[in-house]
Structure 1
Amino acid sequence: MVSQIPQEICPRPFLKWAGGKSRLIQQYIPYLPKKYKTYYEPFIGGGAVFFYLKPQAAILTDINAELITTYRCVRDRVEELICLLKEHKHQHNRDYYYSVRSNSQGTDLEKAARLIYLNKTCFNGLYRVNSKGQFNVPIGRYDNPNICDEPLLRAASAALAHTEIKQADFVEILNYQTSSDDFVFCDPPYYPISSTSYFTGYSKYSFDETDQERLRDTCAKLAERGVKVMVCNSDCDFIRKLYQEINFKIYTIEAARSINSNTKKRGMIYELLITSY
């Protein structure tokens, strides 16, 4: 009997994230630049595009401090993180979930394990906080949630090994010496296309029209340097007009809406993919 060699685990997102791009990668491929030196992602979220591209050099940032702490722990201390997640898995039940949810204190490793644990066991994998920055999503209905995916975490750690990871507002990307050799992918909180689609729970900071305009201006400055910029956002007149004003190219992408309290309102929608090149 010939023994099988285990297949290498391809790096992919270790967190479920609202607006994650895993299902859209195939539609993005024709628009991704063929060559670039350094990859930048100022709204890292679940990191689907980063894990797909596996760039040799990358700078990943986000305004969400807990998220950045978690990425750093996956990069630098993955085995210790796995040990803590095994403890969460062993103790998981309804009371334990709410006990963990109510306690945001601890070391960076404990905070990272807490975020992953809650992400894997909360309702719909939704990250949402209140105005005080407190995670407030109820427990999900899972028979056996995959709280500690060891191969996935180790693959993610390897992919992140040579990345710079820091908490920052997206506009700080202008402080880097970006050039035509670089690629910037922006996946910001989407502009709401209806009164019920305004998702504000990504962090305690809102992302309003002024922020969308700041992002557009940031992208315009990057494009002036020759940087290859790609932005995704909701398909609406406001976003189209913003980027038409700076002569970016706009493409329509078909996406699945998976987060809505009313299951009948989940389904296919259109999003925009916007590029400077």
Structure 2
Amino acid sequence: MQSQLLQSIHPRPFLKWAGGKGQLIQQYIPHFPKYFSTYYEPFLGGGAIFFYLQPVQSFLMDINPELVNVFCCVRDEVEWLIELLKQHRDRHCSEYYYSMRSQIGVSNVERAARLIYLNKTCFNGLYRENSKGQFNVPVGRYKNPAICDPELLRAASRALQNARIEVQPFEAVLDYAKNSKDFVYFDPPYHPISATSKFTSYNRYTFSSEDQIRLRDTFAVLANRGVQVMLSNSDCPFIRDLYRGFTIHTIQAARSINSNAKKRGKITELLITC
């Protein structure tokens, strides 16, 4: 009975990630394709949509090599990863956090465990790198952070077994998605909705207006091929104008990552389909 219960755990994101879609899935469900053979996600992030859909075939991509490494290790080395996370859990304190933040593990699994540990214990679950690619978020104030959740990681590992996971720029999807049997979901860094809203990347690489235009062009090429495409972005005139001619849905969301708690609250986002 116990083993059956553990096997029934539904996979879900094992990382906190800026812009995660877990709270929006119910609004997305009416817009998901009813049928597709291969799922592509060029901005992987926390992978909430992937874990919800659990596609038989998938190609997951991201430009962040540390993020891709974590997903590969969860897929391929989950038991070793769990053991390392237990060690981090048992040693966690502010001094240990900063010690781990200042170093990078030698092996892929050590790097993966380090990232998950920092993600679960850093301020507000925010992933941020400086210009040198170094993680630079301060420690968070948590009484009992969920550093190691073995069954969540094992459920994610099972879901990822048939997934291809690579470091790739978003345009690489053009080499693979060819027709209506393919479904591509883009969740890029959102375009700023105001002059003071500058969070357009979670690593050393920014995502500019020119990148948004390149992404729109990629979206259009896929749509012209008959590929089923869906994209999330901020609700602002620039994005609405950029995707004029496609179907634009307004999604009710919540801003959860902001240093000023008073600026967190309900906002609208866009979901674009073709």
Instruction: For residue 187 of structure 1, report the CA deviation from its aligned partner.
Output: 0.3
What number of residue pairs does the alignment pair up?
273
Mapped pair 1:6 → 2:5: yes
Whether the aligned pair in 2 keeps the contact of 1:127 and 1:201 (CA below 8 Å) is: no
The answer as to 2:264 corresponding to 1:256 is: no
Q: More deviation in 50-59 or 171-180?
A: 171-180
Kindly tell me: are residues 67 and 3 of structure 1, through their superposed partners in 2, closer, same or farther at Cα, counting changes over 3 Å?
closer
Could you say which residue in structure 1 is the equivalent of 2:204?
204
Q: What is the CA–CA distance in structure 2 between the aligned matches of 1:186 and 1:200, rounded to whole Å?
A: 14
Distance 1:92 1:195 in 2: 38
What do residues 227-263 of structure 1 show as CA deviations (whole Å, max 9, x unaligned)? Answer: 000000000110011110xx21001000000011111
When the two chains are superposed, the root-mean-square deviation of aligned CA atoms in Å is 1.4
CA contact (8 A) 1:11 1:156 kept: yes
Amino acid at match of 1:261: S
- For structure 2, list consecutive stretches of 5 or more residues without a partner in the other structure: none
**Does the alignment pair 1:17 with 2:22?**
no
CA-CA distance at 1:195 after TM superposition? 2.4
Asked if the contact 1:119–1:127 (Cα under 8 Å) also holds between the matched residues in 2, the reply is: yes
Q: Secondary structure at the match of 1:255?
A: strand
Aligned residue type for 2:10:
C
TM-score where L is the length of structure 2: 0.97
Percent identity, aligned pairs only, is: 63
In structure 2, do the counterparts of structure 1 residues 74 and 23 end up closer, same or farther at CA, with 3 Å as the change threshold? same
Deviation per CA, 1:71-117: give whole Å up to 9, x if none. Answer: 00000000010011011011110000000001024211111000000
Aligned equivalents of 1:219, 1:201: Cα separation in 2 = 20
Corresponding position of 2:41: 41
Distance 2:159 2:214 in 1: 30
Judging changes above 3 Å, is the alpha-carbon distance between structure 1 residues 99 and 220 closer, same or farther for their aligned structure 2 residues? same
Q: Within 5 Å, give how 1:15-164 maps onto structure 2.
A: 15-164=15-164
Closer, same or farther: CA 107–4 of 1 in aligned 2, 3 Å: closer
**Matching residue of 1:240:** 240
Question: Which structure 1 segments of 5+ residues have no match?
Answer: none
Give the TM-score, by structure 1 length. 0.96
- Amino acid of the residue matched to residue 26 of structure 1? Q
